[in-house]
């Protein structure tokens, strides 16, 4: 990638996208232009980030240089969108804006950034360890080259899926809110082990290893979830006793409703 990349907001997800590209020398540090909101963030990145990228505070007059870059990665919180103003100076209207803002629609992005071709992306926190899931919805008139550039931003750290925009809210609920739900399940199961007398740390380790092993078994043996459940559930045994409790407590329904609620909340941002 030989283009200049502007990064608007440089939090954990943005770092997880840009750093592997720098590590693999797919982009050069001098081609990365970053803007952050606070002086503290600016100084922290200058001091601790391992690459010498171009970085500016948002209220600096020099920050407008970002708008000359061919590609912008928009990575602020959705509520901060109103604080960002597009500079018209020297903007090439073929420039690409890639947004990872939760729930912000392509239509809203296009209204906010009329001089850009806009792409909406949903990714999740495991991208920070190279195990992300990324969904992409294309705006109008995106070129083949721009699609390739967008995919290259994410392919090193996540599995990439292309969707029409209508599916991104439910995709976000499953993949971006999902890790928090899984963390809650891990915590609850480990508390069950704790209740049975296991030390907390050991109980949590056992739960995590169990989940990792279960996922590997499903993937490698190409099992459906029903097949796996039947594999370990015997008549009158411990597993069916546990499952019976979960069904009584409506765990299945609660999980379904949690995803629907997260999806609906994402739609409210649109």
How many Å apart are CA 9 and CA 57, to the nearest integer? Answer: 10
Query: pTM to 2 decimals?
Result: 0.89
Q: With a cut of 70, say whether residue 92 has pLDDT above it.
A: no
Q: Comparing 1-5, 114-118, 162-166, 170-174, which segment has the lowest mean pLDDT?
A: 1-5
For the chain, give the percent of residues with pLDDT over 90: 79
How many Å apart are CA 249 and CA 245, to the nearest integer? Answer: 6
Q: Given this model, what pLDDT does residue 87 score?
A: 60
Quote the tokens at residue 103.
């729930």
48: how many CB neighbours lie within 10 A of its CB?
7
Q: Given this model, what pLDDT does residue 82 score?
A: 83
What is the DSSP-derived secondary structure letter of residue 28? Answer: -
pLDDT-based confidence at 13, cuts 50/70/90? very high
Instruction: Give the residue-averaged pLDDT of 237-244.
Output: 97
Q: With a cut of 70, say whether residue 113 has pLDDT above it.
A: yes
CATH superfamily label, 178-269: ProC C-terminal domain-like (1.10.3730.10)
Q: Comparing 16-20, 91-95, 110-114, 153-157, which segment has the lowest mean pLDDT?
A: 91-95
For the stretch 189-220, pLDDT in tens is 999 999 999 999 999 999 999 999 999 999 99
Q: With a cut of 80, say whether residue 90 has pLDDT above it.
A: no
How many Å apart are CA 154 and CA 161, to the nearest integer? Answer: 10
Secondary structure, 3-state, 164-201: CHHHHHHHHHHHCCHHHHHHHHHHHHHHHHHHCCCCHH
- Residue with tokens 């499952």, as numbered in its chain: 243
Q: Comparing 54-58, 131-135, 215-219, which segment has the lowest mean pLDDT?
A: 54-58
Yes or no: say if 110 and 99 are a contact pair by the CB < 8 Å rule.
no
Q: With a cut of 70, say whether residue 180 has pLDDT above it.
A: yes
Give buried/exposed letters for 175-188 (b at 16+ CB in 10 A, else e). Answer: bbbbeebeeeebee
Phi, psi of 8 (to 5 degrees): -100, 100
> C-alpha dihedral over 172, 8, 25, 45, to 10 degrees?
-110
Yes or no: say if 13 and 100 are a contact pair by the CB < 8 Å rule.
yes
Q: With a cut of 60, say whether residue 88 has pLDDT above it.
A: no
Instruction: Give the residue-averaged pLDDT of 217-240.
Output: 96
How many Å apart are CA 134 and CA 3, to the nearest integer? Answer: 22
Strand-by-strand arrangement of the 132-138 sheet: 54-57, 32-36, 5-8, 71-74, 96-99, 117-122, 132-138, 158-162
Domain boundaries, the chain: 5-165, 178-269
pLDDT-based confidence at 93, cuts 50/70/90? low
Classify strands 5-8 and 117-122 as parallel, antiparallel or unpaired.
unpaired
CATH superfamily label, 5-165: NAD(P)-binding Rossmann-like Domain (3.40.50.720)
């Amino acid at each position: 990638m030989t283009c200049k990349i502007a990064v608007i907001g440089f939090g954990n997800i943005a770092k997880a996208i840009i750093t592997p590209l720098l590590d693999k020398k797919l982009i050069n540090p001098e081609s990365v232009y970053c803007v952050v909101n606070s002086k503290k963030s600016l100084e922290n990145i200058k001091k601790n980030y391992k690459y010498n990228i171009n970085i500016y505070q948002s209220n600096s007059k020099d920050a407008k240089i970002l708008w000359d870059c061919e590609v912008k990665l928009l990575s602020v919180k959705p509520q901060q969108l109103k604080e960002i103003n597009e500079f018209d100076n020297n903007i090439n209207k073929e420039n690409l804006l890639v947004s990872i803002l939760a729930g912000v629609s392509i239509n809203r992005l296009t209204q906010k950034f009329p001089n850009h071709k806009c792409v909406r992306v949903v990714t999740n926190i495991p991208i920070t360890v190279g195990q992300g899931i990324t969904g992409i919805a294309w705006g109008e008139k995106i070129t083949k080259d721009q699609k390739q550039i967008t995919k290259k931003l994410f392919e090193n750290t996540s599995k990439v899926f292309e969707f029409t925009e209508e599916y991104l809210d439910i995709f976000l609920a499953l993949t971006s809110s999902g890790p928090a739900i899984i963390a809650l399940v891990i915590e609850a199961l480990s508390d069950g082990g704790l209740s049975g007398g296991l030390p907390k740390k050991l109980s949590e380790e056992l739960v995590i290893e169990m989940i990792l092993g279960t996922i590997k078994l499903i993937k490698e043996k190409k099992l459906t979830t029903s097949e796996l459940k039947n594999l370990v559930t015997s008549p009158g045994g411990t597993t069916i006793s546990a499952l019976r409790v979960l069904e009584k407590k409506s765990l299945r329904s609660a999980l379904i409703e949690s995803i629907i609620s997260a999806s609906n909340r994402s739609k409210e941002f649109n």
